[in-house]
Structure formats: structure tokens, C-alpha cells
Amino acid sequence: MKRQNQSSVVEFILLGFSDFPELQEEIFGVFLVIYLVTLMGNATIIGAILLEQTLHIPMYLFLQNLSVVEVSFSAAIMPEMLVVLSFERTTISFAGCFAQMYFILLFGGTECFLLGAMAYDRFAAICCPLTYPMIMNKRVFVKLVMFSWVSGIMVATLQTTWVFSFPFCGPNEINHLFCETPPVLELVCADTSLFEIYAFTGTILIILLPFLLILLSYLRILFAILKMPSTTGRQKAFSTCASHITSVTLLYGTASVTYLQPKSSYSPATKKLISLAYALLIPLLNPLIYSLRNKEMKRALVKLCQRVVVLHTVVLVQKLYDICSLLKRTTFEFCKC
């Protein structure tokens, strides 16, 4: 193990699934497919909303921001995870581990606040339809988005800096797939009780409190939906909110289990499975949930596909025209000779 001043670890070893070397190749293939689908799905949503003017309203702009967060979150975790799965033991530098933890917390915290803002948006749209344009105007939307990103940055900066201010003078093997707070904290050779109190309090404020507010919002939405005279209106409102509830339950449930007790008694295998739930499933499911349950998104995705097909057709026709022109010119010169 490398040391600096005989006390500071300058690199870590990510063990991944080294206990099951015979399965790593299959796991690598599955994770790679999930990563590529996640990137394509979220990138498609970002592009569809960007190009479709009718979707430039808060509901879909929040979704666009959420897709940006999901792409960034996956990019912070998956490449390193795939490298870990390619070898039995993979080293990551102290600075690299710091950066990965920072971005995981940044995008994870931002997503928590964004989901809360999206719940507020749906509450205002369904419960206050007449005053919705005034409640959720452009200025309010920008403030909510900025608050989500700034809060994520603050959480990541405080927690990552605090974790890596502890001395690492013992083992440097992280029994995990990536540099997440709980497994890294287990390697600290100092008293972390104060940090654990902060982590517990922070989890309540960042995860559980927004989750409770979201639940209250949806209770109000549920009562508003039940009062609707139209069956079609109730079905549309339920469909709109069901996707958000699914994402909220997945994210807040797994994140709470992980961060409420950083030094929990769960086995390393259980911790890995819980982490994979929000590192893999949530970024993968969000684009599927929101696009497949929403008619406007389906329409925008169809238009995007049509634009891509038309663009490729134009490029293909241009290439064929260039080839024909070249053949014609070559034939003319040959006949002239």
C-alpha cells in the first residue's frame, strides 16, 4: 500500500465482485447494455424536449433537467464500474475517488430536490389549474431548478470534503463497485461519530423531508383527482402522477437505506445491491417511465425519430448524388480518351 507521510493513502483498490470472478464477464455485459440504453434513452428525451416547442413548459423542462442529471449520474459511476468489472482488482487514485464521490453526491442530491420541485409543479397544475400559470411562471421555474443544482453542489462539497479530511492509514481496499460514502468511511482510522450524526441529519433534511413533502403533495393531488367529474380527466391525472411516484419511491427508498446509517451492519453484498438499485435502475427507468406513460412525450419522440430518418435520408441521397456525379465525370473522361 502506498502512503504519504506514513498516514495518508494515495490510492484505493475497488474490489467490485472479486468474490465471483466467474460471473464478472456476464455482469460486465449486462451493465454495459444498461449503461448504453440509459444514455440513449435520456439523451433522446433531452433532444425531443429541446426540439419540440410545445414541450417548453415547466413539466417537461423539469423532466429535461432530470434526464441531464441521470446522464451525468451514470457517467460518474458506470465507466469506473465497468473498469472494475473488467479486472479482479482495480486501483483508483485518492483524487479520483474524491471526484467520483463528489459527483455522485452532487447529482444524487440535485435529483432529490428536482423530484420535489416536480411534485410541487404537478400539485399546482392539478389542484390549482386556473392560477397555475401564475404559480409556476418562468421565474419560479428557474428559481426551483437553480435551488436544486445549488443545493446538490453544497451537499457534495460539504460531505466529500469532510470525508476526505479524515486520515486513511489502514487498509485501502474498498469492498464496493465505486467510491461511495459508506464503504469509504469504513477505511477511516479516526472517530467518525460526529460525521455520522451529520449524515443522519443530512439524510433527513435532503431525502426524508422532501419525500414527506412529496407524499403530502400527492395526497392533495389524490383528493383533487377524486373530485373530478370526468373519468377521462381522472385517468389522465393518475397517469401523469404515477410515473413520478414510481421514481420517487425507488430513489428515496434506496438512498435512505444507504445514507441514514453510513456505518450500517448490512453485509457488503447487500450494500452493493442497494447501491446498484439507484445507480443502474433509476437512470434506466426514468426515461422509460416518463416517455411511455405520456402522450405528448410519445408524440415528440416520434417527431424526433422522423427528423433523424429524414436527415439520414438527405445525407444518403447527397452521397448517392456525389457518387453518380463522380461516375458520370469519370465515364465522360474515359470516353473522351
Instruction: Tell me the domains of the chain and their CATH numbers.
Output: 11-293 (1.20.1070.10)
Q: How do residues 159-210 score in pLDDT, each as one tens digit?
A: 999 999 888 877 788 888 888 888 888 888 888 888 888 888 888 888 888 8
Please say if the pLDDT value at position 147 is more than 70. Answer: yes
- The model's pTM is 0.81
Place of cell 453526491: 105
User: Cell numbers of 301, please?
Assistant: 419522440
Please check whether residue 245 is in contact with residue 293, taking contact to mean a CB–CB distance below 8 angstroms: no
Say what angle helices 193-203 and 231-259 make with each other, to 10 degrees: 180
Specify the pairing of strand 3-4 against strand 8-9.
Answer: antiparallel
Structure confidence at residue 14 as a pLDDT band (50, 70, 90): confident
Q: Residue 285: which residues within 8 A CB-CB, separation 6 or more?
A: 246, 247, 250
- E strand or H helix that includes residue 173: strand 173-174
Please say if the pLDDT value at position 83 is more than 80. Answer: yes
Structure confidence at residue 141 as a pLDDT band (50, 70, 90): very high
